[in-house]
Structure 1
Amino acid sequence: MKTHSFGRFLKLPLGAPIYLHRTKPPIDVIEASYGGFAPFVTDMLSGPGFGWHIETAVHVLRMVLGGDRFPRFMFSADYPYASIDAARAFLEQVPVTAADRSLIAHGNAEKLVKISAELRLGALAAYLRSKS
């Protein structure tokens, strides 16, 4: 889901799984915060240069301050537009415990979609067989 829809933040039931996808800020915010530059500069600042990240962060803050005290974060990469290797390297250097890194990398997703350890090991074994 985008962080806002038509300029309004969405209210979600607690515990509902969601995917926050970056999006540009509402047009009023773009004009007030990123306007006054050449169109290309405004577009880049309000999007991938800064605005996407701020919009997503604001939505996460709204979730936490609105009562979802322990949102589950999951790892993802913007493949094929971004390198999975670079995303993995980023995850490896994030200053969190090994247990939290494991949850972010795969544990939270496994809990969300109810993947058992046996299923995960079976998928790994099948993958390794395909490579030999």
Structure 2
Amino acid sequence: MVHAIGASRIPAHHEAGIHVLRLILAGVFEQLPDLQVISGHWGEMVPFYLSRLDDVLSPGDTGLSRTITEVYRSNVWVTPSGMFHRPQFDFIRAVVGLDRLIWSADYPFLHLDGTREFFDELDLTPEEREKITHLNAERLFRL
């Protein structure tokens, strides 16, 4: 089962990110380990707080069997959703990994101008490009 979170302008980015955290902390992914969600806009701010969340909410505090980061990395997929900025890409690459990244735009909310140029300027191997542009989505959606 796959569910997209943050696919519209409402709820706001931080609210969509908080919803993902609520799913994690409620143990939804422990009860449904095969559940996968897609979080747009570079993960709706959550990846930028994963290490902080792990520091203040250990498995002993949350009652989960894994850290928040471990749950996130196994049950959440991230898309840029038209936010084509190199620092965010580099951060997501380092924190979440390219195996959980699916390329996306945010049309019709943002124009597609510059999308191809941004992607072409990323230092990616041909295999990494294929993962991001279609192989990860094929794996997630079992295509």
Aligning the two structures, in what range does the TM-score lie when normalised by the shorter sequence?
0.3 to 0.5
Richer in strand (by share): 2
Higher RCO by CA contacts (8 Å cutoff, separation 6 or greater): 2
User: TM-score with structure 1 length normalisation?
Assistant: 0.47
> Who wins on radius of gyration, i.e. which is larger?
1
